[in-house]
Amino acid sequence: MSTPRIYETVVDMAKAIRQGTGNGDLAHLDIGAGTGDLIVELSRHVGLRSEACDFHVERFPLSGKVPIRRTNINQEPLPYPDQSFDLVTSTEVIEHLENPRLFLREIARVLRPGGHAILSTPNVLNLKSRVRYLGSGFFNLFGPLPLPGGMDEKFSANSHISPVSYFYLAHGLHCAGFRSLDMATDKAQKTSVLWLALLWPLILALWPFFWLKESRLKGTNAWTRDERVRAIVKGHMSWRLLTGRTLIVCARK
């Protein structure tokens, strides 16, 4: 579920995009718009020509003011022609999808050259999540799911089925044709800050060992000699990813 802090960060990123593109009319699509709160905030602070799509269009109170189309992202492409938008936003959606990389390619398809995508997802790399994974094998906010036929419950909008860490989100965006990635988080998580204080000596000891071992890889696995990959990997030890609650990425096509 998106929060006001997530919206604030997305709005700040959209403001920077607006400043970089001048006063032209920007076409905006919000995927998984929910109740339209992000669209309202963007309209108030940035000013965009917005459209929305969601599976539950009946929950969208801005119908009649903002065009909305019903879509099942897991089963069908986005219902828009190629190069239709200048900005696509999607907050707390990708972790609910069966094929995150296909979703990123669809976003790239509907964006015009030079357009931007802003996405958010739970940050599975904060230390609260890493410690939970160490103890249970499950990231924070990503627990066991019911199997088909085993329980009456079915997958719903509350089910997080695809944990996407920063590296794999950034890698998927690059493979979909995006460049110039900016990464942020909505806020530092108190529990993660506490774990960082406790585990920092261990992290300082293990991090160089990881780089040394990886630097010995040869052939196509030798990622340490690719500066673009190195920059993304280094982000895994940043304050933002070690402590941030929600990962927010802005990418330019």
What CATH number did the domain enclosing 92 receive?
3.40.50.150
The CA distance from 7 to 105, in Å, is 23
Residue 175 maps to a domain: yes
Q: What is the pLDDT of residue 189?
A: 97
Q: What is the pLDDT of residue 150?
A: 60
Residue 206 maps to a domain: no
Rounded to whole angstroms, what are the CA distances from 143 to 39, 99, 163, 172, 247?
Answer: 30, 18, 10, 23, 18
Residue 196 maps to a domain: no
Q: What is the pLDDT of residue 236?
A: 92
Residue 107 maps to a domain: yes
Residue 228 maps to a domain: no
Stretches where the chain sits below pLDDT 70 are 23, 149-158
List of residues 6+ apart from 103 with CB closer than 8 A: 73, 90, 93, 94, 97
Q: What is the pLDDT of residue 108?
A: 98
Residue pair 173/99 in contact (Cβ under 8 Å)? The answer is no
Residue pair 119/91 in contact (Cβ under 8 Å)? The answer is yes
Percentage of the chain lying above the pLDDT 90 cut:
84
pLDDT tens, position by position, 131-178: 999 999 999 999 998 887 665 454 444 589 999 999 999 999 999 999
Residue 60 maps to a domain: yes
Q: What is the pLDDT of residue 36?
A: 97
Residue 204 maps to a domain: no
Structural domain count, the chain: 1
The CA distance from 47 to 14, in Å, is 10
The residue segments making up the domain with residue 75 are 4-189+245-252
pTM of the model as a whole: 0.94
List of residues 6+ apart from 211 with CB closer than 8 A: 224
Residue 176 maps to a domain: yes
